[in-house]
Amino acid sequence: MENVLMLFGGFQTVFAFDNLAACLLGAVLGLIVGAMPGIGSLAGCALLLPLTYKFSPTTAIIMLGALYYSNMYGGAFSAILLNIPGDSPAVMTSVDGYPMATKRGRPGQALFVSNISSCIGGFIGILILTFTGPALAKVGLLFGPAEMTSLLLMAMTSVGWLMGENPIRGVISTLLGIILATIGMDTLSGSPRFNFGSLYLMGGIPFIPFVIGSVGFAQIIKIMASRGSLSSQLVVNKLTIRGSLPSLSDLKRLLPPALRSGVLGTFVGVLPGAGATTAAFLGYAAQRAFKSKDPLGSGAVEGIAACESANNAAAAGAFAPLLALGIPGSGTGAVLLGGLIMWGLTPGPLLFSKSPDFAWGLIASLYLANLVALAISAGIIPFLVKILSVPVKLMIPLITVVCFVGSYSSSNSMYGVCIMLASGVLGYILDRNKYPIAPMLLAFVLAPMLESNMRKAFIISGGSVDIFFSRPISLAFLFIMMALILFPVIKAIIRALRK
């Protein structure tokens, strides 16, 4: 009850004119930044941080919080319409979003499903944050290196093993992602590794150009190979909200995965370092255990709902350790933490009692940002859908331009463009030979975290693998991972025996 009263106080803070304007501005900028490949929430918050010097801390955090939050909405736009994820959490959205928009000819519905699921996931995340924030943050601290290693192994295995027609191809794709991620600095010692004397490779392969290339530029090469059969033949819905609305059946289909992923995503968001990307991948992997009307990966409503709900919920969940313990859950969280310190606030358990206006104002602003982002998205969907009615021959140079500027801007170097082109070729060859791309991207993002935690766990245990089996949480994740690996094998054996 006390939390509800504090939340009402937070709403009073948010509805002050300055804060309301900051929240609206943050939400709009977040949508734009999210939709632009190569920028993402981290760069968006970092770019806007200097603008907040003259704001009060509450107004500043409200704007940045709204930006971070609505960024998750925006990332899905380019993922669904162009197959270019705006940010890493949107990678999984493109797996079902793009086929639903193009192959099934329902781009408006795909965007609406994504936005409604984001809203549901977001609300679940914020509700859990409102009532259990500080307690939830303490649960996150139970995850040590061994638990994180097992969780990450489970996430990678489930996506790699279960995605696509052939598990071997999924695993090859996953391991390729890990191998590529080991190029650059060693995560613990900081010494250069697999850089072959190159200064560029010493910094590793930058993720944004890698994802823009392997998904976006590869898509252009793919379009070149199948000209005339893709978007150009689409019958795009009318330029109205009604023409883009999802059916009642779509809503019924999106609700269960959105609710499940909302809870799962919040919990993943609380874990230090896990973030919205891990949540989206886990949400999608978890959906594989449940029925979907259409097969996942072919434009299934359930696939979009599972990952979009999870990543928005994780964005909300990430505020729990940030506010209650001062531990950022992601790169964006670290920028926000920098902001808190810059504004003279000390995050920790006392933040909620010492600066209630600030803490509860931020939480209240997330509710508002969630609604604002949904309303704005709903309004612009009919216009966004028009993108798909543009002839393919005009889209090819336009997407290439986005790939170039997006990959350059993330690294401020032509090295980024070089990586984009190379990974475009890799992505196309993989896709053409039916190797799923998403496991490679997931593994690439999570590999540094996996390596760091795995090595820390071995150092703690003195080189013994017992540490992974003696801790209950770690053991549970390993058990789930083995079950996920063995389930398709046993299923195939039973099917073969029946024949």
Partner 1 sequence: MRAYLKPGTIIPFCSGALSVFWIVYGLTRHGFWDSSKGPLPGFVPVLMAALLFVVSVLGFIGSLKVKTTPDRLENWTILLAAGITFALVFLIGMIAALLVFVFVWLKFYEKTGWKNTGLILLISFGIAWGVFVLWLGVPFPRGIIIDAIAGM
Residues that bind partner 1 (CB under 8 A): 36, 39, 47, 166, 168-169, 171-172, 175-176, 178-179, 182, 186, 188-189, 191, 193-194, 217, 220-221, 224-225, 393-394, 396-398, 400-402, 404-405, 408-409, 412, 414, 417-418, 421, 424-425, 429-430, 432-433, 435, 447, 450-451, 454-455, 458-459, 462-463
Least distance (Å) between residue 357 CB and partner 1: 31
* Complex with partner 1: residue 6 or 450, whichever CB lies closer: 450
* Complex with partner 1: residue 56 or 182, whichever CB lies closer: 182
Least distance (Å) between residue 364 CB and partner 1: 29
Q: What is the dihedral of CA 122, 123, 126, 131, to 10 degrees?
A: -150
Q: Give the 3-state secondary structure of 365-390.
A: HHHHHHHHHHHHHHHHHHHHHHHHHC
Task: Give the torsion sign (CA, 432, 433, 438, 444).
Answer: negative
The radius of gyration computed from the CA coordinates of the chain, to the nearest angstrom, equals 22
Q: Give helix then strand counts, H and E, for the chain.
A: 24, 2
The tokens describing 11, both together, are 């709403």
Structural element, H or E, at residue 184: strand 184-185
* Complex with partner 1: residue 167 or 356, whichever CB lies closer: 167
Least distance (Å) between residue 175 CB and partner 1: 4
Least distance (Å) between residue 404 CB and partner 1: 6
SS3 at position 349: coil
Least distance (Å) between residue 26 CB and partner 1: 15
Least distance (Å) between residue 246 CB and partner 1: 29
Structural element, H or E, at residue 192: strand 192-193
* Complex with partner 1: residue 119 or 443, whichever CB lies closer: 443
* Complex with partner 1: residue 5 or 429, whichever CB lies closer: 429
| DSSP assignment letter at 50 | G
Query: 318-335 burial string, b = 16+ CB within 10 Å, else e?
Result: bbbbbbbbbbbbbbbbbb
Q: How far apart are CA 36 and CA 477, in angstroms?
A: 35
Terminal Cα-to-Cα distance of the chain (whole angstroms): 60
* Complex with partner 1: residue 236 or 402, whichever CB lies closer: 402
Least distance (Å) between residue 173 CB and partner 1: 9
Residues 6+ apart with CB under 8 A from 483: none
Q: Which residues pair with 184 in a beta bridge?
A: 193
Q: How far apart are CA 201 and CA 183, in angstroms?
A: 7
* Complex with partner 1: residue 142 or 460, whichever CB lies closer: 460
* Complex with partner 1: residue 394 or 490, whichever CB lies closer: 394
* Complex with partner 1: residue 177 or 329, whichever CB lies closer: 177
* Complex with partner 1: residue 295 or 397, whichever CB lies closer: 397
Least distance (Å) between residue 459 CB and partner 1: 4
* Complex with partner 1: residue 219 or 309, whichever CB lies closer: 219
Q: Which residues pair with 185 in a beta bridge?
A: 192
Q: Match 């989206």 to its residue by tokens.
A: 280
SS3 at position 463: coil
Least distance (Å) between residue 53 CB and partner 1: 17
Q: How far apart are CA 275 and CA 266, in angstroms?
A: 10
Least distance (Å) between residue 60 CB and partner 1: 19
Task: Give the torsion sign (CA, 59, 61, 66, 67).
Answer: positive
Least distance (Å) between residue 496 CB and partner 1: 16
The tokens describing 329, both together, are 């859950």
Residues 6+ apart with CB under 8 A from 110: 80, 97, 100, 101, 299, 304
